Amino acid sequence: MASLFRAYNSALIRRPFLTQCASAATLFGAGDVVAQQWIEKKGTDHDFLRTARLGFYGGCLFGPPIVMWFNFLNKLKFANATTGVVARTAIDQGMMSPIAITWFFGWMSTLEGKPSEAPEKLKSAFVPTLLRNWAVFVPVQILNFSVVPPQGRFVFVSIVNLFWNTYLSAVNAQQKALLDQEQKARDLVPGTAIVENIKG
């Protein structure tokens, strides 16, 4: 374990951007595995495409902007350490969290081939997800910005993200299942599609 940590730390120093994005991909994929196996109890019915989507999202769509975001936060200057912790946490949670949640549900709907479902997912899941995000990450980020060195902040929050990603994966799957059920119900009602087209 110690040698693995040393190797990871070495990679983080040599290729910080790539290593952090790879970490995000791994943790999002792992979070989906936990969601499917421990929460949804899928067993051998594991949806590997779903895991691949989450991993791709983490590494290519979430990791790069979040790495740059942390670089931006780390460069901000404040009068003293306490002000810096409070300000960075407030900026991160007040600005980035709502954007990240919208980004997540929007991209997951797109990767699932149904971008039109994003508004419905956000309508039902945005507020509870944001409130739970604040409950988890406000204290996490206070700790992160107060005691963790700048180069380790993304890694620290990524460890917590393993559990958060599990939650996001489960919520997204639940929202998708509800929307699929609603679509099937509409398909069973004669004339529904025609009426919806007329309304549109």
In the numeric block, which tokens belong to residue 144?
A: 């992160």
Residues 54, 28: contact at Cβ < 8 Å? yes
Task: Please list the pLDDT of the chain residue by residue as tens digits (200 residues).
Answer: 667 767 877 887 788 899 989 989 999 999 999 999 999 999 999 999 999 999 999 999 999 999 999 999 999 999 999 999 999 999 999 999 999 999 999 999 999 999 999 999 999 999 999 999 999 999 999 999 999 988 788 778 878 888 999 999 999 999 988 888 888 887 776 554 444 544 45
Task: Write down the pLDDT at residue 190.
Answer: 57
Q: How far is CA 170 from CA 17, 106, 163, 173, in A?
A: 28, 16, 11, 5
Task: Write down the pLDDT at residue 116.
Answer: 93
Task: Write down the pLDDT at residue 82.
Answer: 95
> How many Å apart are CA 147 and CA 89, to the nearest integer?
13
Task: Write down the pLDDT at residue 1.
Answer: 63
Number of H helices, E strands in the chain: 9, 0
Task: Write down the pLDDT at residue 96.
Answer: 96
Residues 121, 179: contact at Cβ < 8 Å? yes
List the end-to-end C-alpha distance of the chain, in Å, as a whole number. Answer: 58
Burial class from Cβ neighbours inside 10 Å (0-12, 13-18, 19+) for residue 136 reads: middle
Task: Write down the pLDDT at residue 195.
Answer: 44
> How many Å apart are CA 3 and CA 197, to the nearest integer?
61
> How many Å apart are CA 113 and CA 118, to the nearest integer?
11
> How many whole angstroms from its chain centre is CA 195?
36
